[in-house]
Amino acid sequence: MDLVMFVDPIEGLHGPLRPAYLLARELRGSYNVTFVTPSSETAEEIRSAGFEAVSFDRRYFLRGSLRTLEAWLRSMRFNVDNDDAVVVNFSQAFLVNADIYYAQGPITRALDDMYPEMRPLYRAIYRALRRLFILHDRRFNRGLRRASRLFIANSSFTRSMYEAWGIRVDGVIHPPLDTSFFR
């Protein structure tokens, strides 16, 4: 059986990409796992970990963690034509028909938390565009809810953020831990 996982253009197999990577590692023997990402760099990182990855090879103006913000602003729509595949969307960059969307928190809430640490130019830009960002974030997440059979949050707190926007959350699954780290 095929498992298709959509992920953001993240640098490295840590942070938001970690739950998808650990799930893929666990299910590798039972499923044909394929990652889909908008970034060729992310696809290469995933391939180096031994997984199949498809990239849309999008070019980004921003670097580092800001690349995810840019991908989110672009909001790619995608349909998976393989009815037999299990589709799990971990991404804030893809609006895709998925069996499961794994919600790790609205981007604007993360930006609000980062605001005090932003460079002055980024703070000014975010302050000027914040209302538009929130509008886009709500609209995009409502679209994710409609496109996904299950909408799962990574914590009760994350669940409360989505429910405050009127988005129904089907459950909470905490991120998987890499137990080999503790050995």
pLDDT over 60 (residue 177): no
Crossing angle of the two packed helices 107-114 and 120-147, in degrees rounded to 10: 160
Secondary structure class of 181 (helix, strand, coil): helix
| pLDDT of the residue at 28 | 87
* Radius of gyration over every alpha carbon of the chain, rounded to an integer in angstroms: 16
The domain that holds 22 is classified in CATH as: 3.40.50
pLDDT over 60 (residue 180): no
pLDDT over 60 (residue 59): yes
Nearest to 19 by CA among 154, 141, 169, 162: 154
Please tell me which residue, 114 or 160, carries the higher pLDDT value: 160
Q: What residues make up the domain containing 26?
A: 2-182
Distance CA 91, CA 38 (A): 10
Please tell me which residue, 67 or 122, carries the higher pLDDT value: 122
Q: pTM here?
A: 0.87
For residue 59, how many C-alpha atoms fall within 13 Å in the half-sphere facing its CB? Answer: 1
Distance CA 171, CA 102 (A): 10
Please tell me which residue, 100 or 78, carries the higher pLDDT value: 100
pLDDT tens for each residue of 4-34? 999 987 766 777 788 898 899 988 888 999 9
| pLDDT of the residue at 79 | 77
pLDDT tens for each residue of 89-148? 999 888 999 999 999 999 999 999 999 999 999 899 999 999 999 999 999 999 999 999
**For the purposes of burial, counting CB atoms within 10 Å of the CB of 21, is it exposed (0-12), middle (13-18) or buried (19 or more)?**
buried
Domain count, the chain: 1
What pairs with residue 48 in β-bridges?
none
